Structure 1
Amino acid sequence: MSRVLVVDDDAAIRTVVAQALRRAGHEVITAETLAQLDRALATSMPDVLVSDVVLPDGDGIARMAEITARMPALPIIILSAQNTLTTAVRAAEVGAYEYLPKPFDLDDLTRAVSGALARGSVSASLPVSEDHALPLIGRSPAMQNVYRVIARVVSNDLTVLISGESGTGKELVARAIHDLGHRASAPFVAINMAAIPRELIEAELFGHERGAFTGAAQRNAGRFEQAAGGTLFLDEIGDMPMEAQTRLLRVLQSGEFTSVGGARTIRSDVRIVAATNRDLAVQVAAGLFREDLFYRLNVVPIALPSLRDRRQDVALLAPHFLEHAAAQGLPRRELADDAMAALAAHDWPGNVRELENLMRRLAVLARDEVIDAPTINALLGDRPVSSEVPDPGIAAAVRHLVDRIGSERSGALEDGTLYERVIGEVERPLIEMMLARHGQNQLRAARALGINRNTLRKRLDTLGIAVSGDEAGERS
């Protein structure tokens, strides 16, 4: 029978955890202080150590570092209510097998204990910063998952692909991976693929020689050279042209490249972190993104949640942004309780970036030092706030449709028919839905759509929609 030592100063947590582990077939020893932990280690060597971070007589993680140095084979599972990126990284630094933020699921803990017994500890060596120096804020379960992945990748050079809607903080994650890793003293270089003309992307990435093209008056180092020894962040990778994808794939495979117009082979020593707000798997299926490049980039995926999927973090983010605005010389503001409730209820289509911009506007435009809900709603454009999550599927469906049209034949997106084809695809189900709702009555359907009956008839003919019923229900 395996022996598990559980250390937590909360008696209720010790009891519940001990009961769950005993039901799973483990022998359990408990302690509530670091002193008791030391005595337990001296008298009965456990197979797994489960410990809280904040204990009455000291820092649990700091003590775990000492224990790991003495007992490197002892797997450690860290529990903490301090659910920040720093805590996750510190847990990885001391070689913890797993980090579980409180509140945690008991099934997750028992699985972690079983995994620790089977695999042993995983050590890492990571630099640690204070929370105020870290750009990522949030204690929601969704962000805890992000922190745990970051903590595991900063000690290696695996390629990371960050996905998420615009404004979720993809570059912040990339910077955290760089700043907390062993390449932190080297450059962090970012390039936005969507912001560079297609014909210049290769020169931007790989550099160019003098005379390589019209206007190339001197040799310029590309982003790969600029990031030597550090991290190259490829933002909006889904917008990269196919020909540039081919060259990037070659660099990732061989670790070497040549500048545009050059003959000398240059060795690449960079960590690649890519990001996209597109579904690259859909793009691959549509023939718009190379499948082999996708798998080269998607070694460690990190999916960032939208702000509406972690609304509880608004209460941390909003005051932080107001404080940051004040530090930059803007008026100091505070949020009333009803203002915080209004912020938490908003849908945030622009995600964290929208929230940050709103806080800056409030700092400048709010009349009172304490901001209330009406002020919030006024700056949101008098839009009613809603606790319902908007359906993100419409934009994704349109994007998928455009990708599909583009994959049908060369030039399909530039032949002047794209608007009509996309509108036709959206218009057909809308008209059919209104006809069905109004018993195939064209007049009533036209009124509901806000168009006249003749326009509706023309669209029915153009779209080839057959209407059933008595002359399509012409009588109103």
Structure 2
Amino acid sequence: MNDRETSIEGGEHSERILIVDDEPSMRTALMESVRRLGYEVQGAIDGADALERVTRFRPWLVITDLKMPRMTGLDLIKDIKARAPQTVIVLMTAYGTVETAVDAMKFGASDYLLKPFSMDLLERVIANLKEGRDLDSPGTSTAVEGRAILTQDPGMIRLLSTVEGVAASQATVLINGESGTGKELLARFIHTRSPRAHRPFIAVNCAALPDGLLESELFGHERGAFTGAMMKKIGKFEMAHTGTILLDEISEMNLSLQAKLLRVLQEREVDRIGGRDPVAVNIRVIATTNRTLYREVEQGRFREDLYYRLNVFPITVPPLRERPADIALLARHFTGASAVRNGVAQPALSEAAVAHLQTLAWKGNVRELENVMERAVLLAGQGTILPMHLPDARQDQAAPANPAPAATPAAVNGSLWEMERELIFKTLSRVKDNRTHAAKELGISIRTLRNKLREYRETELPLTMSEHS
């Protein structure tokens, strides 16, 4: 063993953090933000520089970029873990893919941040990693992607306390709840509290993919298995090996795929499309649904045997209207997050606005509240958020679950519809038209984003045609 390795074994310093980024402005900004949190911090210009500093500085946490000269972030993770396995590592990148995240977790990263991210988000990630699983409050948890469950509702706190207990087991969990209640966030909470916390967490939206594509995404395929299969593809189950797989909106899966899924759950092995031999997988399964699954079974739309396989530990997330204590808490949180995301000063939230928020129906639950506060921040500008910046209570109560799109932009000139449209297009532009990243930033599903874009196209088409007629 050389001197470098011996010095590292002396132990890391719990108040030291190393920032690794080849971009000077980004590195300086991160260092300053971390320093303000009370940590001793150093910066490294690339992976080779980082390894030298890990030896001398001995940080407890390394936050590293992915793409750097001389050594990538993934290679740096492997080298640090080989020399100082106790070091906690967070990978940050503007080139995020599921495969990159999985590789980072496999090599030993504890978390994964997609650029651009707010300093508030970074602070929460650091706090969570520092405190580990011994957080004092069961009402707050930072998930794999740094998002937190915020609640002060007694029922929700009891639910999280129960979830903490089951998280340590290997039991399959079925999370029930209306759309927008935070089912995926709860699934990530379970993963971060489990023995698999530092292994892959792979989420699959069963409602967002066509049946043919979903099968390939889940189980993978061999080269030449079907027309267009130019190379072998590893499925999500294999990617989640040793970790957790989330089957989001499992009720949307067709009966044929349900049969194949049942075999995976029973045998813990996957058959790739066109493959000869099954591939063994060690996974923890979490499923979510916004429908009542046993009723789906009664209607013949869901297999009864699969239902019992999934329903080992059922959890129901209450809708926002049953958690009135959380409305003001979440509204203030989303106001701050939106201001940071949009690069504007955070407006105050008036007491009248808070009272108005309490009167709304929240059919879209937490996701709807996040979108409402995003619009309110933009409408309020430098001022205070007032009831006039929020949806009308009577319209909210009377609005159908899926309102029909407006006839033309002219018909809704100056309305929240236009503000929402502008926000979506600005977000798409900022993430270079990556719909997955845009949907995450907006707090909506890929399907909702697609529907919104289709609505905008259909609305603008008559105007375009009339202008050229």
Return the TM-score normalized by structure 1: 0.53
Q: 1:252 to 1:282 in 2, by over 3 A?
A: same
Partner of 1:365: 379
Q: Are the counterparts in 2 of residues 346 and 385 from structure 1 also a CA contact under 8 Å?
A: no
2:394 aligns to what SS in structure 1?
A: coil
Q: Are the counterparts in 2 of residues 319 and 335 from structure 1 also a CA contact under 8 Å?
A: yes
Cα displacement (A) at 1:385 = 7.2
Cα displacement (A) at 1:226 = 1.0
State the alpha-carbon separation in 2 of the partners of residues 100 and 172 from structure 1.
14
Q: 2:338 aligns with which of 296, 316, 325?
A: 325
Partner of 1:282: 295
Which amino acid is the alignment partner of residue 188 of structure 2? R
Q: Are the counterparts in 1 of residues 142 and 189 from structure 2 also a CA contact under 8 Å?
A: no
Cα displacement (A) at 1:324 = 1.2
Identity in percent: 43
Is residue 248 of structure 2 the alignment partner of residue 235 of structure 1?
A: yes
Which whole-Å deviations, capped at 9, do the CAs of 1:366-387 have from their partners, x for residues lacking one? 14521122222xxx1x34278x
Q: 2:276 aligns with which of 255, 263, 276?
A: 263
State the alpha-carbon separation in 2 of the partners of residues 309 and 140 from structure 1.
9
2:202 aligns to what SS in structure 1?
A: strand
Partner of 1:31: none
Q: Are the counterparts in 2 of residues 205 and 223 from structure 1 also a CA contact under 8 Å?
A: yes
Q: 1:345 aligns with which of 359, 362, 369?
A: 359
Partner of 2:304: 291
Partner of 2:328: 315
Which amino acid is the alignment partner of residue 325 of structure 1? S
Cα displacement (A) at 1:134 = 5.7
Unaligned runs of 5+ in 1: 1-85, 102-126, 393-476
State the alpha-carbon separation in 1 of the partners of residues 289 and 198 from structure 2.
26
Partner of 1:116: none
Cα displacement (A) at 1:248 = 0.7
Partner of 1:384: 394
2:307 aligns to what SS in structure 1?
A: helix
State the alpha-carbon separation in 2 of the partners of residues 148 and 177 from structure 1.
11
Q: Where do residues 402-421 of structure 1 align in structure 2 (5 Å cutoff)?
A: none
Partner of 1:124: none
Cα displacement (A) at 1:327 = 2.6
Which whole-Å deviations, capped at 9, do the CAs of 1:132-164 have from their partners, x for residues lacking one? 966111121331232122211221121111111
Partner of 2:409: none
Q: 1:182 aligns with which of 178, 181, 195?
A: 195
Q: Are the counterparts in 2 of residues 161 and 273 from structure 1 also a CA contact under 8 Å?
A: yes
Cα displacement (A) at 1:100 = 11
Partner of 2:453: none
1:150 aligns to what SS in structure 2?
A: helix
Q: Are the counterparts in 2 of residues 255 and 268 from structure 1 also a CA contact under 8 Å?
A: yes
Q: Where do residues 446-461 of structure 1 align in structure 2 (5 Å cutoff)?
A: none
Q: 1:227 to 1:245 in 2, by over 3 A?
A: same
Which whole-Å deviations, capped at 9, do the CAs of 1:416-440 have from their partners, x for residues lacking one? xxxxxxxxxxxxxxxxxxxxxxxxx
Q: Are the counterparts in 2 of residues 345 and 385 from structure 1 also a CA contact under 8 Å?
A: no
Q: 1:175 to 1:287 in 2, by over 3 A?
A: same
State the alpha-carbon separation in 2 of the partners of residues 162 and 343 from structure 1.
27
State the alpha-carbon separation in 2 of the partners of residues 140 and 170 from structure 1.
16
Which whole-Å deviations, capped at 9, do the CAs of 1:113-132 have from their partners, x for residues lacking one? xxxxxxxxxxxxxx9869x9
Partner of 1:64: none
Q: 1:180 to 1:224 in 2, by over 3 A?
A: same
Q: Are the counterparts in 1 of residues 246 and 285 from structure 2 also a CA contact under 8 Å?
A: yes
Which amino acid is the alignment partner of residue 316 of structure 2? A
Q: Are the counterparts in 1 of residues 359 and 393 from structure 2 also a CA contact under 8 Å?
A: no
State the alpha-carbon separation in 2 of the partners of residues 184 and 282 from structure 1.
33
Q: Are the counterparts in 1 of residues 175 and 316 from structure 2 also a CA contact under 8 Å?
A: yes
Structure possessing the higher radius of gyration over alpha carbons: 1
Which amino acid is the alignment partner of residue 205 of structure 1? L
1:334 aligns to what SS in structure 2?
A: coil
Cα displacement (A) at 1:194 = 1.1
Q: 1:189 to 1:330 in 2, by over 3 A?
A: farther
Unaligned runs of 5+ in 2: 1-126, 402-469
Q: 1:162 aligns with which of 148, 158, 175?
A: 175
Partner of 2:43: none
Partner of 2:50: none
State the alpha-carbon separation in 1 of the partners of residues 148 and 138 from structure 2.
21
Cα displacement (A) at 1:189 = 0.8
Q: 1:163 to 1:100 in 2, by over 3 A?
A: closer
Return the TM-score normalized by structure 2: 0.53
Q: Are the counterparts in 2 of residues 347 and 390 from structure 1 also a CA contact under 8 Å?
A: no
Q: 1:128 to 1:172 in 2, by over 3 A?
A: closer
Q: Are the counterparts in 2 of residues 149 and 302 from structure 1 also a CA contact under 8 Å?
A: no
Which whole-Å deviations, capped at 9, do the CAs of 1:257-281 have from their partners, x for residues lacking one? 2101001221111111100101101
Q: Are the counterparts in 2 of residues 331 and 364 from structure 1 also a CA contact under 8 Å?
A: no
1:262 aligns to what SS in structure 2?
A: coil
Which whole-Å deviations, capped at 9, do the CAs of 1:5-64 have from their partners, x for residues lacking one? xxxxxxxxxxxxxxxxxxxxxxxxxxxxxxxxxxxxxxxxxxxxxxxxxxxxxxxxxxxx
Cα displacement (A) at 1:331 = 3.2
State the alpha-carbon separation in 2 of the partners of residues 134 and 190 from structure 1.
15
Q: 1:148 to 1:389 in 2, by over 3 A?
A: farther
1:194 aligns to what SS in structure 2?
A: coil
Q: Are the counterparts in 2 of residues 256 and 266 from structure 1 also a CA contact under 8 Å?
A: yes
Q: Where do residues 111-126 of structure 1 align in structure 2 (5 Å cutoff)?
A: none
Q: Are the counterparts in 1 of residues 360 and 393 from structure 2 also a CA contact under 8 Å?
A: no
Q: 1:128 to 1:282 in 2, by over 3 A?
A: closer
Q: Where do residues 108-257 of structure 1 align in structure 2 (5 Å cutoff)?
A: 135-257=148-270
1:174 aligns to what SS in structure 2?
A: helix
State the alpha-carbon separation in 1 of the partners of residues 348 and 170 from structure 2.
42
Which whole-Å deviations, capped at 9, do the CAs of 1:216-271 have from their partners, x for residues lacking one? 01000000011111111100100111011011111111111210100122111111
State the alpha-carbon separation in 1 of the partners of residues 234 and 159 from structure 2.
34
Cα displacement (A) at 1:200 = 2.3
Q: 1:297 to 1:368 in 2, by over 3 A?
A: same
